[in-house]
């Protein structure tokens, strides 16, 4: 049984896997990560392996009971990966992007895969059917775009996404919603089309906090998977334990 710990800037996600089956997923503030780990070890005494991805300054305090019982893999720039990384600056590649491509490698071997992570930023990551990670793109996410319009102008209000906004907004708020949401949808559709034109048949996965909202409004075929990053971290853990 595996425990996956994904620590972001303020919030950590913890997941318990039995092989590939996700048994439990919880989110806690970073200050409570160590406490939650201890609680999960009490609840799931079969945990034997821990995978950690930490992009914050949070330090995990593992009790002696935990550290003596479990094999621990902390994802870093030197951690072996289950794909060939052709990124020109591998040291700058985020743990989240590594995990997403690891999941793509595990679940879609010998296929071209584009993974779109729609969160604070929208990231695009691509691996080819030879299991080579080529790179991708990064652009502002929905919330960041709304916030930027409010922050960098004098009169535009802060608003949020509305489902399937009209093309033509007839108020300032609806015009912002139209510009931001339709702009993101057209961006994603356009990038998918560009990849498909260059590589032919491919699988496209969308994940992240805005994945469900965006996926139902995209015109191209796309698979939404909210657990793709955690599944990728679990695969990296297994890959390293098996080395």
Please tell me the chain's helix, strand, coil percentages from 3-state DSSP, rounded to the nearest 5: 40, 25, 35
Residues of the binding site for K(+): 117
Per-residue pLDDT of 96-149, as tens digits, reads 999 999 999 999 999 999 999 999 999 999 999 999 999 999 999 999 999 999
54-58, 166-170, 188-192, range with the lowest pLDDT? 54-58
Residues of the binding site for substrate: 87, 94-97, 172
Q: Domain 1-74: what homologous superfamily?
A: ATPase, nucleotide binding domain (3.30.420.40)
Residues of the binding site for ATP: 6-13, 120
Domain boundaries, the chain: 1-74, 77-243
Residues of the binding site: 6-13, 87, 94-97, 117, 120, 172
Burial class (CB in 10 A: 0-12, 13-18, 19+), 95: buried
Per-residue pLDDT of 199-211, as tens digits, reads 999 999 999 999 9
Of 20, 96, 210, 242, which one is the catalytic site residue? Answer: 96
Per-residue pLDDT of 13-55, as tens digits, reads 999 999 999 999 999 999 999 899 989 989 998 999 999 998 8
The whole-angstrom distance between residue 100's C-alpha and the CA centroid of its chain comes to 6
Give yes or no on whether 1-74 and 77-243 have one common fold: yes
Give pTM, 2 decimals: 0.92
Report the SS3 class of residue 125: strand
86 or 163: which carries more pLDDT confidence?
A: 86
Beta-sheet strand order (sheet of 223-224): 84-85, 132-140, 121-127, 113-118, 203-207, 223-224
- What integer pLDDT is reported at residue 114 of this predicted model? 98
Per-residue pLDDT of 56-96, as tens digits, reads 888 877 666 677 788 999 999 999 999 999 999 999 999 99
Q: Is 210 a catalytic residue?
A: no
Selection from 45, 123, 68 nearest residue 115 by Cα: 123
First to last CA, the chain: 18
Residue 195 near residue 189 (C-beta atoms within 8 A): no
Q: Provide the CATH topology of domain 77-243.
A: Nucleotidyltransferase; domain 5 (3.30.420)
């Amino acid at each position: 049984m595996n425990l996956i710990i994904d620590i972001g800037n303020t919030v950590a996600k913890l997941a318990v896997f039995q092989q590939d089956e996700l048994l439990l997923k919880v989110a806690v503030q970073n200050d409570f990560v160590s406490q939650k780990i201890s609680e999960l070890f009490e609840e799931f005494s079969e945990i034997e392996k821990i995978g950690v991805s930490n992009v914050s300054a949070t330090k995990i305090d593992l009790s002696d009971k935990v550290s003596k019982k479990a094999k621990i893999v902390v994802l870093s720039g030197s951690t072996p990966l289950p794909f060939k990384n052709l990124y020109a600056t591998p040291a700058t590649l985020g743990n989240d992007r590594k995990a997403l491509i690891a999941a793509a490698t595990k679940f879609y071997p010998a296929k071209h895969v584009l993974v779109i992570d729609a969160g604070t930023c929208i990231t695009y990551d691509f691996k080819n059917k030879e299991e080579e990670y080529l790179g991708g793109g990064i652009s502002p996410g929905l919330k960041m775009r709304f916030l930027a319009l409010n922050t960098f102008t004098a009169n535009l209000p802060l608003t949020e996404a509305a489902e399937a906004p009209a093309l033509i907004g007839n108020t300032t708020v609806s015009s912002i919603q139209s510009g931001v949401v339709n702009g993101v949808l057209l961006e994603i559709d356009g990038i998918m089309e560009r990849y498909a034109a260059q590589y032919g048949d491919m699988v496209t996965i969308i994940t992240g906090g805005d994945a469900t909202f965006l996926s139902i409004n995209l015109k191209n075929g796309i698979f939404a998977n909210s657990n793709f990053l955690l599944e990728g971290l679990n695969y990296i853990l297994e890959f390293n334990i098996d080395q």
